[in-house]
């Protein structure tokens, strides 16, 4: 939007549009319906000839204001917000894929995304799961009917870093839509546009909201993909500039058909959280690096997975691409230490799911978020029974290390 710095641009984003009553925060518009003095204007809004709002499921002024901030942060051209990160991913895929299309996905993706792709397989969309840390594996899986490649920047929970630049080059050369889930890095640590992403997903619930008080998701179009080459755009959305067709189809069809609309109240919480994204991420990354180094040196810890550590297989890639290595790490306890007893000894760190909360959270992966997939699948994904995922918060670093020190004994 401008040459302003990351945080300045977010803080002053609402003022780039007319300000209502001088309010420095975009007001929360809870209205479901929007009325017009001239009924013809209502028709024009429905027909896309007049900008405006008609019914809350398709968006409100409050969600639009948040979408503008995310577009600015990601340096994209358009963003559509959703009730959750999963709502964003599911609605985007529903809007853009058809039966007998093929998708290539990283095999290291968020468990619920993995589950969603399984559902799409049942609906006649073929999915290949590949090791996305190596672009050659992605290239090998491509078929003439491949429509989309889906990866995460840093995978949850084992922190593999995809070959983001290599895959971007490949997709661009083959005109394939490249979807990057930027949730673990956030647009402050990484801009997927730099690696030729077509669409970017952010679970706003995590880094961007940051406070663990609102769910939300978004998909942003980087403006790099020429949608006139994509076979699944309906004629009614082929209006104007082709770079905007997909965002229009995702907004119209995705929000209408799935209905995973972000509530205005939640949009407001997320927009307030976004103001401090850069401040929080700097602190979260610093805390995570110190904690990961402490754990790696500890005799009662077998292994630590964190892209900021030199021992991480994609450390150099992470350093080249990301401003910081993020707040997520996973570690295995040494043999004979019960992960539940260890977690119960922690006094500051909370046993809880969620990521990028201001509070540090820890979860025993195999027994919770990866329980349903079974032991065999876990083993194939390198998820040990003692694996603990930690999402570092913004506590004072000495308190965090002290808590882990006493709990490890």
**Residues at the interface with ligand PLP (CB under 6 A):** 84-86, 110, 113, 152, 156, 181, 183-184, 203, 205-206, 215, 217, 355
Helix (H, G, I), strand (E, B) or coil at 218: strand
How do beta strands 146-152 and 102-106 pair?
Answer: parallel
Minimum distance, C-beta of residue 11 to ligand PLP, in the bound complex (Å): 24
Minimum distance, C-beta of residue 82 to ligand PLP, in the bound complex (Å): 9
Four-residue CA torsion sign, 112, 118, 120, 126: positive
Minimum distance, C-beta of residue 265 to ligand PLP, in the bound complex (Å): 16
119 vs 347 by CB, closer to ligand PLP: 119
76 vs 237 by CB, closer to ligand PLP: 76
Give the containing element (helix H, strand E) for 62.
Answer: helix 61-74
Minimum distance, C-beta of residue 144 to ligand PLP, in the bound complex (Å): 29
74 vs 152 by CB, closer to ligand PLP: 152
- DSSP sequence for 263-308: PHHHHHHHHHHHTTHHHHHHHHHHHHHHHHHHHHT-TTEEEEE-TT
Residue nearest to ligand PLP (CB): 85
Q: In what order do the strands lie in the sheet with 361-364?
A: 301-305, 328-333, 387-391, 361-364, 350-351
351 vs 354 by CB, closer to ligand PLP: 354
Minimum distance, C-beta of residue 370 to ligand PLP, in the bound complex (Å): 13
66 vs 301 by CB, closer to ligand PLP: 66
C-alpha pair distances (Å), 158 with each of 35, 247, 295, 342: 50, 32, 15, 20
Minimum distance, C-beta of residue 41 to ligand PLP, in the bound complex (Å): 35
Which residue's structure tokens are 């905007």? Answer: 244
88 vs 246 by CB, closer to ligand PLP: 88
CB atoms within 10 A of CB 263: 18
Q: Cβ neighbours of residue 320 under 8 Å, at least 6 residues apart?
A: none
């Amino acid at each position: 939007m401008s040459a302003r710095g990351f945080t300045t641009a977010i803080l002053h984003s609402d003022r780039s549009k007319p300000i209502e009553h001088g309010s420095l925060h975009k007001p929360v518009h809870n209205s479901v319906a929007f009325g017009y003095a001239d009924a013809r204007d209502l028709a024009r809004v429905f027909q896309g000839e007049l900008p405006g709002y008609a019914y809350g499921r398709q968006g409100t002024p409050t969600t639009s204001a948040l979408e503008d901030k995310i577009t600015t942060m990601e340096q994209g051209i358009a963003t559509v917000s959703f009730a959750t990160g999963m709502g964003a991913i599911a609605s985007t895929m529903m809007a853009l894929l058809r039966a007998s299309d093929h998708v290539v996905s990283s095999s290291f993706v968020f468990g619920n995304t993995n589950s969603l792709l399984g559902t799409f397989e049942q609906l006649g969309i073929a999915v290949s799961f590949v090791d996305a840390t190596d672009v050659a594996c992605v290239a090998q899986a491509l078929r003439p009917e491949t429509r989309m490649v889906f990866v995460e920047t840093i995978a949850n929970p084992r922190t593999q870093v995809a070959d983001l630049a290599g895959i971007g080059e490949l997709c661009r050369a083959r005109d394939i839509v490249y979807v990057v889930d930027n949730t673990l890095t956030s647009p402050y640590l990484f801009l997927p546009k730099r690696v030729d992403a077509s669409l970017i997903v952010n679970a706003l619930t995590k880094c961007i909201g940051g406070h663990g008080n609102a769910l939300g998701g978004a998909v942003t179009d980087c403006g790099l993909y020429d949608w006139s080459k994509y076979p699944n755009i309906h004629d009614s959305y082929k209006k104007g500039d082709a770079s905007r067709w997909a965002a229009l189809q995702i907004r119209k069809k995705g929000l209408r058909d799935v209905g995973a609309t972000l509530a205005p109240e939640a949009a407001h919480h997320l927009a307030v959280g976004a103001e401090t994204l850069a401040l929080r991420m700097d602190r979260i990354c610093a805390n995570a690096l110190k904690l990961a180094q402490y754990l790696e040196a500890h005799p009662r810890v077998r292994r630590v997975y964190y892209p900021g550590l030199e021992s991480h297989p994609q450390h150099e890639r992470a350093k080249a691409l990301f401003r910081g290595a993020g707040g997520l790490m996973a570690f295995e306890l040494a043999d004979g230490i019960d992960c539940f007893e260890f977690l119960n000894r922690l006094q500051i760190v909370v046993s809880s799911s969620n990521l990028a909360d201001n509070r540090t959270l820890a979860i025993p992966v195999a027994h919770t978020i990866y329980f349903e997939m079974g032991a065999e699948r876990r083993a194939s994904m390198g998820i040990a029974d003692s694996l603990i995922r930690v999402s570092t918060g913004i506590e004072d670093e000495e308190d965090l290390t002290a808590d882990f020190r006493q709990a490890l004994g």
